[in-house]
Amino acid sequence: MNGLNQIIANLADPKGLKVVVETLGFQHLDLEVTIPRVVIFRDAIVDLLAVELGQRFNSKARDGWCTFLNYVGGSYIFVRTKFAERLRILITSWNQASSKATDQADGEEGEEAQDGLEGDADKEQLEDGSGQADAAYEAAAAETTSARKSKTATFAWFGTTQSAKMAKSKSTVSAGAGDKEHGGTSDFRNTNVPKTFEDMFVFNAAVMGFGGHTWMNEVLASFDTIVTNVANSYRLQEECDVLSLRIAKYKGTINLPEFKAVMLASLRSLVKDWGSLHEVSWSWLWENVERMIKALMGKPAAQEQALSELFGLMDEHMQGIVRREVYAKFFALAPAGQDYFKQSTTRLHFIADKLVTMTLDIYKDPKRMVEDIS
């Protein structure tokens, strides 16, 4: 009903109505909205209004509501059909930008090479009984360890780690020595170009003057989950809600369009077949994500304070009511859960109290709470 309230509130504003309906259609992408289902929903709402309003719900009101609900249902169907291609473009280009396909192929090649190495070592050991197999295994293990270390080398936000800086300084010194030997000619062959979205984003953010905007770190940390769950409206909304709690801890001005600018610049550099459809699709995704985040901006602090005051006023009697209502609501939504909650009353009360406490803790430290829950 909240969606209907938003739509009705914007009926006098065509542009605002289009934005609201498109946003709601985006949130219903994972549902198969069809014409027969729209008719069922429309008739149910109209019949409910007719029963509640009686004679006041005349033929003109009925026609108005039918037209209104037909428009909303048709818009949902249009969004789902029209944006199916956009979803495909988002997923394929994201796999390319985040190097997921490349990493998977490299992993398969590495496994094949490792299997071949082990097979050769076994063959040599069986043929001549020498210790070459052991040497091969040791070499493979050393190579694997080295690869893991290099792969797990992390970059600090908008800058390199200390070890990376030292390596960079060493390469700079070596390059300087080489320049002197070759008459001062610079060698650009060893320039490292970012090949993943995260590295490219860090690079572009620094170049575009957003190096000090550390709130982008929170968005970047959640961006992969947001993109991969773009067709799952509930999960997408959940990710945006948690992201809103995380960036609410940032002290300073947050300008979300800045992230879009860096995001598009990074994707253009990484996606080989980038075109106008990619531009439209990624802009569309971020506009919807931005609307979800903006809807909660400024609210977490007030909500946290209200929850703290509420929990502070709860006595033992009120806590008992909350415990019972938690399980009553949970079992109504998931009846199968009754088969798993067969502990003592004390244990069940502890779980309910912990759940209530977590609702406040996620406001205080959303990052830690998400990790604990996950």
Q: Please, what are the averages of pLDDT over each run of 10 residues along the chain (374 residues)?
A: 80 84 78 88 92 90 91 88 85 87 50 50 45 46 46 40 42 42 44 82 91 89 91 85 90 90 94 92 91 88 89 87 88 84 82 87 88 81
In a domain, 137, yes or no: yes
Do residues 341 and 305 share a domain?
Answer: yes
pLDDT attached to residue 256 = 92
Instruction: Indicate the residue among 152, 180, 207 that finishes a domain.
Output: 152
pLDDT on residue 99:
75
Question: Residue 373 has what pLDDT?
Answer: 83
Instruction: Please tell me the number of Cα atoms within 13 Å of 163 on its side-chain side.
Output: 6
Both 73 and 135 in a single domain? no
173 in any annotated domain: no
Cβ contact 142:153 at 8 Å? no
- DSSP code of residue 339: G
Indicate whether 363 belongs to any domain: yes
Domain match, 6 and 33 both = yes
Q: Domain limits at 117?
A: 107-152
Q: Which of 239, 272, 294 is the last residue of a domain?
A: 294
Number of domains comprising the chain: 4
Give backbone dihedrals phi and psi of 192, rounded to 5 degrees, phi first. -90, 115
pLDDT at residue number 316 = 87
- Asked whether residue 73 falls in the same domain as residue 17, the answer is yes
Residues 315 and 278 occupy one common structural domain: no
Is residue 101 within 8 Å of residue 195, measured between CB atoms? Answer: no
Please tell me the predicted confidence (pLDDT) of residue 148. Answer: 41
108 Cα distance to chain centroid: 27
End of a domain among 294, 322, 345? Answer: 294
**Can you read off the two tokens belonging to residue 175?**
């390059």
* Residue 223 forms part of a structural domain: yes
Radius of gyration of the chain (CA): 29
Residues 204 and 282 in one domain: yes
User: Are 277 and 314 members of one domain?
Assistant: no
**Pair 36, 61 in one domain:** yes
Tell me if 165 is assigned to some domain: no
Q: How far apart are CA 226 and CA 245, in angstroms?
A: 15
Domain membership flag for residue 67: yes
Whether the CB-CB separation of 326 and 352 falls below 8 Å is answered with yes
179 lies in some domain: no
Residue 94 maps to a domain = no
Q: What's residue 188's pLDDT?
A: 39
Residues 248, 333 share a domain: no
